[in-house]
Amino acid sequence: MAGDDENLIERLRKAGFSRAAIRAAWPSWWSEEAGETPSGRAELRFALARRLGLEPKPLLGERVEFVWNDEARFKHLSTHDDAQKAALTSFGMSVGRLLLRATPSGPIDPIAAEALRDAIMAGSPFVDLGSLLGTCWALRIPVIHLRVFPLEAKSMHAMVVGIDGRFAILLGRDAAYPAPVAFTLAHELGHVMLNHLADAPALIDLEDPALARDGDEQEDEADRFALTLLTGSPEPDIQTNIDHFNAPTLAAAVLRATGEYGVEPGTLALCLAHGRSLWPVAMSALGFIYGERKPAWREVNGIADGELDWDLLGDEAAHYLRNVMIGDNV
Give the binding site for Zn ion (CB under 5 A): 75, 205, 209, 219, 222
Smallest separation, CB 85 to Zn ion (Å): 16
Written as one letter, the residue type at 183 is F
Tell me whether residue 50 or residue 191 sits nearer to Zn ion (CB atom): 191
Q: Which long-range contacts (CB under 8 A, 24 or more apart) does 66-70 make?
A: 66/15, 66/90, 67/93, 67/94, 68/93, 68/201, 68/202
Smallest separation, CB 194 to Zn ion (Å): 10
Tell me whether residue 160 or residue 268 sits nearer to Zn ion (CB atom): 160
Smallest separation, CB 185 to Zn ion (Å): 11
Question: Cα separation of 126 and 261, whole Å?
Answer: 9
Smallest separation, CB 209 to Zn ion (Å): 5
Smallest separation, CB 148 to Zn ion (Å): 22
Tell me whether residue 208 or residue 299 sits nearer to Zn ion (CB atom): 208
| Whether the Cβ atoms of residue 152 and residue 163 lie closer than 8 Å to each other | no
Backbone angles phi, psi at 188, to 5 degrees: -65, -40
Residues with Cβ within 8 Å of 19's Cβ and at least 6 positions away in sequence, in order, are 13, 152
Tell me whether residue 205 or residue 264 sits nearer to Zn ion (CB atom): 205
Question: Cα separation of 200 and 196, whole Å?
Answer: 8
Residue closest to Zn ion, measured at CB: 205
Tell me whether residue 219 or residue 307 sits nearer to Zn ion (CB atom): 219
**Alpha helices by DSSP H, the chain:** 2-14, 19-25, 38-52, 56-60, 82-101, 113-121, 129-138, 178-193, 217-231, 247-261, 265-273, 279-290, 296-307, 315-326
Q: Pairing relation of β-strands 143-145 and 158-163? A: unpaired
Tell me whether residue 196 or residue 319 sits nearer to Zn ion (CB atom): 196
In eight-state DSSP terms, residue 175 is -
Smallest separation, CB 224 to Zn ion (Å): 12
